[in-house]
Amino acid sequence: MNGPVESIYNLIPREVEKPPNPPRYNSKFKSTVKDELKHNRSPNKTMGPAKVAVPTPTSFLKKRSKEPVLPEKTVFEYSGEVSRRPPVPRHDDKPLLGIRTNKNFINTNAVENIMSVTKKPLPKYVDTRCGDNNLLEPSGLVPKYTNKPDYGQMPEYLKKRNAEVKRAQEEYDQYIRDRMKQGAMQQLSDAERDDIINGLKKNWEELHHQYQGLSVVTDTAPKKNRKERMEAEMKQLERDIELVEKHRVIYIAHN
């Protein structure tokens, strides 16, 4: 039978023995860390107040010793003293009298008005029934750009581009002519080109007719493969037809 043995001596209270504490953990790097801390410590960090020079008894703080020193007083002068206007005349100053001119202001004004060019009014437009008007030129209603001398002409960069394209085409045509003279290339005639296009279209129609006769349900692998093969052939024929119709001039190289 497992468990403590029943006995009367077990009723006597006993002192509880505490287990001893395990030994305190000490790192093996403790001495290394202490050495590094002492070695890397800044030499300026010392205990106590900093050692500074003690002021002498004669250098005590005096009255008004920290006030800013102002510059010496100078006479104020305006920057525009030379270009200053003359002073206003005093009330007791007498004006100059007896000064006359021989200019005929009536005739002079009449001649100036006769010889002057009439000022043209600025063109305006009214956009409300209350008579509110605005200038016509900045409104965009006047054909301003169509009256320019270079309106409707081709820009310079387009002329340069067209000249470069034309030069490149001439070089290509010259290269083709040289190759044709050497017998390495042959130009396809219009009749042969039309025959090729018609033959490709006829092949496409026949293949399309066969494609229309396929079963709707592709439940087996052979049906699916045949359908995919015919679709790929039809797409290839369409690309060939588009390529031949796109180029009017076709050259055949002799290998």
Chain segment 31-61, per-residue pLDDT in tens: 988 888 777 666 556 666 667 788 888 888 8
Instruction: Give the DSSP letter of residue 3.
Output: S
Do strands 133-135 and 124-126 pair parallel, antiparallel, or not at all (unpaired)? antiparallel
Instruction: Output the CA–CA distances (angstroms, integers) from residue 130 to 116, 122, 126, 140, 209, in the order listed.
Output: 35, 20, 9, 22, 75
N-to-C CA span, the chain: 109
- Output the CA torsion sign for 205, 206, 208, 212: positive
Amino acid symbol at 127: D
Chain segment 134-166, per-residue pLDDT in tens: 998 888 888 888 888 888 899 999 999 999 999
Whose tokens are 């093969």? That residue is 229
Could you tell me which residue, 209 or 42, shows the higher pLDDT? 209
Question: 6 pLDDT exceeds 80?
Answer: no
Could you tell me which residue, 43 or 86, shows the higher pLDDT? 86
